[in-house]
Amino acid sequence: MRKTRLLAILGASSLLLAACGSGSGGGSDSGASDNKKPWEGDASEVAVATWWEAGSEKLGLEALTKVFEDQNPKTKFVNAAIAGGGGSQAKQKLAADLAAGSPPDTFQAHAGAELSDYIDADQIEDLTGLYDELGLKDAFPETLIDQLKVDGKLYSVPSNVHRANVVWANPKVLEEAGVDAKTPPKDIDAWIADMEKIKAAGKTPITVGMAWTQTELLETILIADLGAEEYNGLFDGKTKWDSDGVKKALEHFEKIISFTDKSLISEDWEPAMQPVVDGKAAYHVMGDWAVASFDTQKKKAGEDYVYFPVPGTDGVFDFLADSFTLPKGAKHPGGTKAWLTTISSKDGQIAFSTVKGSIPARADLTDEEKGKFSEYQQNAMESFGKDTIVSSIAHGAALPVKVSNDINDAVSKFVEGGSDLDAFQQALMKATDSVGK
């Protein structure tokens, strides 16, 4: 049921199932009609739950909100964002609100396995008919539609796509240590050799922040060491978490963690990355929302920072997409429809992603529209179109929320020094016990 093996379905001609009803698009009505769609009704406001609450992420949400307000002057935007990168706080509050039957009008959820949590719990509406009304089925690439579809139905509308397997590096720190900033290392071993040089030069080789950032670093090392196909096998039981391949990746992870500044391991991604921006550390692995942080600090690509795929993952796009839902029992479903309409529109997607560092989920941008994006983002668009796509663990694409949370716990215990490598691998096996069953 879950879409966890995107690689396997790439190339498969998965046509969308015919959707129910065409609908007339909206607005409020008396509520008496038999054919009333779940997204019809009160449009006076929309409470939007995200974790885009700080720094460059907040600026991205503000850019999107501006388009929303221009497009929907009669609908009040209510910001229900909760701080904490990766949804570290927001997801808990959301789970409590959903369980209590008081959902926001829409909430941010990752395309892929994370959506299944809400669907299995019967907490979100099927939006397949809304895709028809808004003409969205052809707007998004088939690979993304496949990630969003569960049992042939579409339950959320994507706003943007991010890439997780990117190293952000400070070229001056690299050069001072005799590391060529223009030629990225070929694999994890070569990368570790560069980290040794940086350490010897007296700088912090790499930084990492709180649990989910550690998981993101780990997943990219798993991709590098296992390759895309075996990595994908981790999510349907074909690759065992107790395999030698995983063990090798964990050994690499242990070595890389030994180079980090431990005082940062409880920090959110932006403060954890800041030493790289400031020239005190060399590397940080982070999703490409990081580019927005460099941009807002007026740093120049190529001069103040460089970026490259995590060594050993060139040609692989570690994918995640933000998408928005209509929770069952939302008080302002007409407001939700307005929000979903804006975030899926070209104007909304371009305004958001140019500020947020992501790329639009829509696949129908003209060359002129693509020209509005930074060099990094144009590069990411090209990679998304041609690379092998794999799903992020840390950002809900590969595994359900409960499994990702258990992985985060195992990873942070190890990083904090609370378990050895064997115990770590066993904890990962336990966390993923339900996978593929």
Contacting residues toward ligand GAL, per CB under 6 A: 51-52, 57, 85-87, 110, 162, 269, 287, 289, 320, 322, 395
Residue number with CB closer to ligand GAL (320 or 399):
320
Residues forming beta bridges with residue 160, ordered by sequence position: 322, 360
Comparison of 37 and 162: residue with beta carbon closer to ligand GAL: 162
Q: Is 318 helix (H, G, I), strand (E, B) or coil?
A: strand
Instruction: Tell me whether residue 215 is exposed, middle or buried, using C-beta atoms within 10 angstroms of its C-beta: 0 to 12, 13 to 18, 19 or more.
Output: buried
Least distance in angstroms from the C-beta of 395 to ligand GAL: 4
Measured from the CB atom, the residue of 57 and 387 that comes closer to ligand GAL is 57
Strands (DSSP E) contained in 262-341 are: 281-285, 306-309, 316-325
Q: Closest distance between ligand GAL and the C-beta of residue 269, in Å?
A: 6
3-class DSSP state for residue 381?
helix
Quick one: 86 or 233, whose CB is closer to ligand GAL? 86
**Which of 164, 272, 170, 168 has its CA nearest to residue 220?**
164
| Closest CB 427 distance from ligand GAL, rounded Å | 22
For ligand GAL, the nearest residue by Cβ is 85
Residue 149 or 162 with smaller CB distance to ligand GAL: 162
Distances from the Cα of 241 to the Cαs of 223, 248, 319, 424, 425, in angstroms? 13, 11, 21, 11, 7
Q: Read out DSSP for 133-189? A: HHT-TTTS-HHHHHHHEETTEE-EEEEEEEE--EEEE-HHHHHHTT--TTS--SSHH
Under 8 Å CB-to-CB from 425, ≥6 apart: which residues?
Answer: 241, 242, 246, 247, 250
Token pair 């009669």 in the structure block, residue: 74
CB of 32 to ligand GAL, least distance (A): 40
Which of 374, 17, 424, 99 is CA-nearest to residue 249? Answer: 424
Mark out the alpha helices in 6-127 (DSSP H runs): 6-9, 55-71, 90-99, 113-120
- Side-chain-facing half-sphere of 304: CA atoms under 13 Å: 15
Q: Which is nearer to ligand GAL, 383 or 425 (CB)?
A: 383
Give the shortest CB-321-to-ligand GAL separation in angstroms: 8
Residue 247 CB, nearest distance to ligand GAL (Å)?
28
Q: Which C-beta is closer to ligand GAL: that of 131 or that of 289?
A: 289
The secondary structure element, H or E, covering residue 121 is none
As measured in angstroms, the least distance from the Cβ of 363 to ligand GAL is 19
Q: Which of residues 29 and 62 has its CB atom nearest to ligand GAL in the complex?
A: 62
**Nearer Cβ to ligand GAL (162/362):** 162
Of 195 and 286, CB closest to ligand GAL? 286
- Least distance CB 64 / ligand GAL (angstroms): 12
* Residue 401: CB minimum distance to ligand GAL, A: 11
Pick the closer one to ligand GAL by CB: 128 or 404. 404
What is the token pair recorded at 391?
Answer: 């799903």
Q: Which pair of structure tokens corresponds to residue 405?
A: 């949370």
Amino acid at 141: P
How many whole angstroms separate alpha carbon 307 and alpha carbon 301? Answer: 8
The 10 Å Cβ neighbour count of residue 171 is 18
Minimum CB–partner distance for residue 393 and ligand GAL (Å): 11
Q: Helices 346-356 and 55-71, interaxial angle, to 10°?
A: 160
CB of 27 to ligand GAL, least distance (A): 30
Which 3 state secondary structure label does DSSP give 319? strand
